[in-house]
Structure 1
Amino acid sequence: MNYCREFYNLLIKGSQAYARWDLETSTTILRSRKRMGLLFLMLLPIIIGGIAIAAGDGSGLPSTIGGKSAYMPSHYTNLIFFASIFVGLCAGLITGCIGAGGGFIIAPALMSAGVKGILAVGTDLFHIFAKAIMGSVLHRKLGNISISLAVTFLIGSLTGATLGGMLNRYLYDLNPVLSDAFITSVYVLILGFLSFYALLDYFRARRGELKSNKKASRAEEIPPLGQKLQSITIPPMLTFDEGVTPGGRKISAVFLVLSGLLVGLAAAIMGVGGGFLTFPIFVYGLGVSSMTTVGTDIFQIVFTAGYSSLSQYAFYGFVFYTLAMGMLLGSLIGVQVGSLVTKVVPGIMIRGFFALAVTAGFINRFFALPGKLQSLDYISIPPNVGQILNLVGNTLFFAVIGAFAVWVSWVFFANIKELKSEHSHN
């Protein structure tokens, strides 16, 4: 139980590191006229397509989002575009306000809206990559990166991303419903784990049982698993953390490649960048310091998301660019508003909203799974039961996420004078 809780805490730290990068990247884009101009150019084909469709009768558009033929911006409707902005806005609000976890709702939200799972994954990865190349804040983190660790890790992560993309495409070609069921099952397992510990920590915090960790102020100690792996000498050995430990620490490149393989596999299957796994694997498993881990985590997210979105999904037509650009636009605004709201909201409330958001995502995918398994004849239930469960899951999910977005917006506008005053003093 303690090991699981420690693993959960490191997962959250990984998500928080990604949230800080997301905020910094979004701020960089919004404050630059050149980058905003680039965003407009990326949106221009979508705007022109929308005008063309609005001028016509809209005939020829598919009844579902994603099929066996084309996936390009021709699959455009005004409703789809504005819905994607809403999804990006909500994800940004969660990321900015909670400081973690916003990316976990994107794929479930898109799948709930009718987007096929493989298309939701590819589009989410492309949205992350588009934000990364527009923000270009990676160079600020390079001082915290061990180049040897990062490059070796990327060998594994890009290999894992290739395998994950191939697996998703194979399952989709075999049966699109099987592909959706597989991606949904992965989300059920991950979000179920996160939901359980997030709720547990929230109620413990409400009872005042969570205390500050005094070890955080001392030099980081290498966890037992990290010590064991670092004692195994399989050439080549890589040296890192010279600034943390005299003489640095050493670990076999084999373990870096295997770790990258796992992260890349998760990133390509789930479409979340894989950054949430890097932190627990590096700190707990490999014994790398938190400072080095944060830099390497951001480094790998950019390259893994870029490689996965392009080589494994975009080249095969599994990126819905209209959705990606809408999510990018919404998230740029959402993450800014959410980060400001944290200044006027108690920390316990933020922790509660994180637990609620992750639980909503878990319920959504959990309720969607029986209908998919029934379609595959893996379980025997009346078809209308699966449809009802799916409807209940979708309703609860969008009700929770929508209510959260409304609440954050209300808090923001209700305290806008205070937030402006604080911002001017800074």
Structure 2
Amino acid sequence: MMRRLYQSLMAASRAHAQWEIETTTNIIKNRKMLIILLLMALPLIIPAMVHAASLPEAIGGKAAYGPSYFSAKMFYGSIAIGVVAGLVTGCIGAGGGFLITPALMSLGVKGILSVGTDMFHIFAKAIMGTTLHKKMGNVNVGLAVAFLVGSGLGVTGGGIINRALYNYNPVMSDFTISMIYAVLLGFLGFFALSDYFKVRKSELSKNKIGLEKLTPMAERMQSVNLAPMIQFDEKIVPGGRKISGVFVAISGAITGLLAAILGVGGGFVTFPMFVYGLGISTYTTVGTDILQIIFTAGYGAIAQYALYGYIFYTLAMGCLLGSLLGVQIGAITTKVVSQSKIKAFYAIAILAGFINRIFALPEKLSQMGYISLTPSTGAILTNIGVWVFFGLVAIFAVWIIGTFIVNVPNLRAEYDEGSKAEYNAEYGEDNKAVVSTKRGAAQ
């Protein structure tokens, strides 16, 4: 059961990573988008180069009630975070987005602001370079409508919960977000590490577990005749299958709730619920998932966080700039890095996020009065988590970027050969025809 859930989560992460790679590629190839992005970033980069005057701790410090603490290193840190998250997404094909919120919190950003910033960064990337039109053939309108109705309710509920927690006690808000991330990253990290040691020779992506076959849970769900019934997968199963729109809406509500609380797109729960719980094919799930990511991130970022001042636009732009670079380098580097090493670093990166959040919890518990801990001890534990996290992801980033730089000649040669072969395949025969015609005319 747990293994199947992990496989479903990884399938969701890979689908989201593929969408993100396509999206960033579209932005980089579009000169207008790059110019717009540069113009948007200039007003942020220039002021960040000059350290602002230090504010009193009660107003602008890390311990202040308001979430407005800022320093220049946070902006540069957000770019580095974006690069690392992009490297994980591009090189490993999964999981990069899970690192952004914990990393921003490690820089001193309040949890609720990290969540809102992460959601806005996802939304900004989506509207600038989305490839949704390519996936629309996979989208079932009935499933999409029911899911988005539920997702809207879930995002609203998640935003209300996060804001209520923060208004009640900012420390409790940070503690809750950290705890959820610790559980999620711990689950993913330990399973990824065990897979690395157990399945070195056979790749996880090749180890299919029959997700297309209906599970007992999916069979029970599809047997319930509860209006409105939605028909889907007509192209895969003769006559298609049917599921109650109520179950789809509930799945959307759960996805939206978790996405709004954690600040991610929500795809990591869409796949397990759709494929494992409802029996919807991965073919249909991919298209619906991309559609819901754009809606969930956009509605959550704007309606639940931006309107209440819980988005750090400067850091969102930094994450966006960094991820555009990181995703491309990571995706290219997969051609010269063994998959076993990639899996090992993925497990290490995710476990680094887990350690980061676990070591932040004692200080939060102490500040809320649940345990007795001196402020210095709590700060030391938190700093250990921060240094372990940034140290491990820095090693990962340096290794990937170094591998990329060393192999630039090989990658360039491979690209030139591929371009030449593509050109010959497309124009070779035409060129021969043109040459023959010219020779005939000359004779």
Q: Specify the SS of the correspondent of 1:114.
A: coil
Give 2:135's aligned residue: 141
Distance 2:76 2:388 in 1: 21
1:143 CA drift (Å): 0.8
Task: Give the 3 Å change call, closer, same or farther, for CA 425–67 of structure 1 in structure 2.
Answer: farther
Q: Is the 8 A contact 1:76 1:322 kept in 2?
A: no
Greater RCO, 1 or 2 (C-alpha within 8 Å, sep 6+): 1
Task: Give the 3 Å change call, closer, same or farther, for CA 153–381 of structure 1 in structure 2.
Answer: same
Task: Give the 3 Å change call, closer, same or farther, for CA 410–214 of structure 1 in structure 2.
Answer: closer
Deviations 1:108-130 (A, max 9, x none): 11101100000000000000000
TM value normalised by structure 1: 0.93
Q: Specify the SS of the correspondent of 1:251.
A: strand
Residues 174-193 of structure 1 aligned to structure 2 (within 5 Å): 174-193=168-187
Task: Give the 3 Å change call, closer, same or farther, for CA 299–24 of structure 1 in structure 2.
Answer: same
1:214 CA drift (Å): 6.3
Task: Give the 3 Å change call, closer, same or farther, for CA 70–189 of structure 1 in structure 2.
Answer: closer
Instruction: Find the partner of 1:153 among 147, 152, 157.
Output: 147
* 1:303 and 2:298 aligned: no
Q: Is the 8 A contact 1:267 1:274 kept in 2?
A: yes
1:373 CA drift (Å): 0.8
The count of corresponding residues between Structure 1 and Structure 2 is 416
Deviations 1:55-96 (A, max 9, x none): xx635586436955574xxx6643222111111001101111
Distance 1:198 1:68 in 2: 38
Residues 314-333 of structure 1 aligned to structure 2 (within 5 Å): 314-333=306-325
Instruction: Find the partner of 1:264 among 224, 244, 256.
Output: 256
1:272 CA drift (Å): 1.1
TM value normalised by structure 2: 0.90
Unaligned runs of 5+ in 2: 419-443
Counterpart of 2:337, as a letter, is V
Deviations 1:275-300 (A, max 9, x none): 11111110000000011111111110
Q: Is the 8 A contact 2:228 2:245 kept in 1?
A: yes
Task: Give the 3 Å change call, closer, same or farther, for CA 302–251 of structure 1 in structure 2.
Answer: same
Instruction: Find the partner of 2:409 among 393, 400, 417.
Output: 417
Instruction: Find the partner of 1:341 among 333, 337, 345.
Output: 333
Give 2:441's aligned residue: none
Q: Is the 8 A contact 1:164 1:268 kept in 2?
A: yes
Instruction: Find the partner of 1:35 among 33, 36, 61.
Output: 33
Distance 1:401 1:267 in 2: 24
Q: Which 4+ residue blocks in structure 1 deviate beyond 6 angstroms?
A: 207-211
Q: Is the 8 A contact 1:66 1:115 kept in 2?
A: no
Task: Give the 3 Å change call, closer, same or farther, for CA 288–147 of structure 1 in structure 2.
Answer: same
Distance 1:210 1:127 in 2: 29
1:410 CA drift (Å): 0.4
Q: Specify the SS of the correspondent of 1:242.
A: coil
Q: Is the 8 A contact 1:66 1:119 kept in 2?
A: no
Distance 2:27 2:201 in 1: 41
Give 2:424's aligned residue: none
* 1:103 and 2:97 aligned: yes
Counterpart of 1:176, as a letter, is P
Deviations 1:162-196 (A, max 9, x none): 10010000000011101000100110111111112
Task: Give the 3 Å change call, closer, same or farther, for CA 223–126 of structure 1 in structure 2.
Answer: same
Counterpart of 1:58, as a letter, is A
1:386 CA drift (Å): 1.9
Distance 1:401 1:214 in 2: 29
* 1:131 and 2:128 aligned: no
Q: Specify the SS of the correspondent of 1:272.
A: coil
Stretch moving more, 381-390 or 397-406:
381-390
Distance 1:424 1:207 in 2: 31
Q: Is the 8 A contact 1:251 1:286 kept in 2?
A: yes
Give 2:431's aligned residue: none
* 1:58 and 2:56 aligned: no
Task: Give the 3 Å change call, closer, same or farther, for CA 96–360 of structure 1 in structure 2.
Answer: same
Counterpart of 2:216, as a letter, is P
Instruction: Find the partner of 1:398 among 380, 390, 396.
Output: 390
Q: What do you get for the CA RMSD once the two structures are aligned?
A: 2.0
1:215 CA drift (Å): 6.3
* 1:276 and 2:268 aligned: yes
Give 1:249's aligned residue: 241
* 1:239 and 2:231 aligned: yes
Give 1:9's aligned residue: 7
Counterpart of 1:186, as a letter, is I
Give 1:286's aligned residue: 278
Distance 1:50 1:298 in 2: 34
* 1:87 and 2:81 aligned: yes
Distance 2:73 2:375 in 1: 28
Q: Is the 8 A contact 2:19 2:290 kept in 1?
A: yes
Distance 1:148 1:261 in 2: 16
Q: Specify the SS of the correspondent of 1:238.
A: strand
Q: Is the 8 A contact 1:118 1:168 kept in 2?
A: yes
Deviations 1:265-320 (A, max 9, x none): 11000011111111111000000001111111111001100000000001100000
Deviations 1:366-385 (A, max 9, x none): 11111101110122333333
Unaligned runs of 5+ in 1: none
Counterpart of 1:38, as a letter, is I
Counterpart of 1:168, as a letter, is N
Deviations 1:8-43 (A, max 9, x none): 011001001110011100000001011112212322
Stretch moving more, 188-197 or 245-254:
188-197
Q: Specify the SS of the correspondent of 1:58.
A: coil
Larger C-alpha radius of gyration, 1 or 2? 2
1:362 CA drift (Å): 0.4
